[in-house]
Amino acid sequence: MSAFKIRRAELADAASLCALMADVEVFGNLLQLPYPSEETWRQRLSEGLAPGKSDLHLVAVRGEQVIGSAGLHPVGPALRRLHALMLGISVQPASQGAGVGSALMSALLDYADNWAQALRIELTVYCDNERAIKLYQRHGFEIEGRLRGYALRQGEYVDSFAMARLHPKPPRWG
């Protein structure tokens, strides 16, 4: 498989992200729905790139094709939770197992640890998504709990794990 590069997502990536999220093997492992809209992705990208937004959305590209996507987003507006970010990641099935997910995770964690003042990164993952769970654990995430009946997937309620990673060396003054 040829090399890929990691970069910040751009508005021009809307069609490629829509195609990635239209893959049943991708959206089936996320909280995405089938039949995504390119306009919806354009709007999401536009909102995330707005001045003052702290979201970081990265893509892995091979040539002009988006083969993976990952982001860090605030967990909400509560002042006492500004130290926590939510992580999401997806990789096209043909590129899974080729280091794309690990490269995206490394880039996000470098940003979170060294630039974003993040102490805690949170995510949810379906309990049967063993490949993703192993990726997260390799990058320091731990299972904090099981969320029963978390989401409807292909007509069945499925459980998810709540996972989190704390900054390995939180910054200190002096």
Read off the pLDDT of residues 84-110 as tens digits, 9 standing for 90 and up.
999 999 999 999 999 999 999 999 999
Classified by CATH at the fold level, domain 5-166 comes out as: Aminopeptidase (3.40.630)
All structural domains of the chain with their residue ranges: 5-166
Distance CA 9, CA 121 (A): 20
Inter-residue contact 86 to 125 (CB < 8 Å) = no
Q: Which two tokens stand for residue 88?
A: 């999401």
pTM for this prediction: 0.93
- 146-159: per-residue pLDDT in tens? 999 999 999 999 99
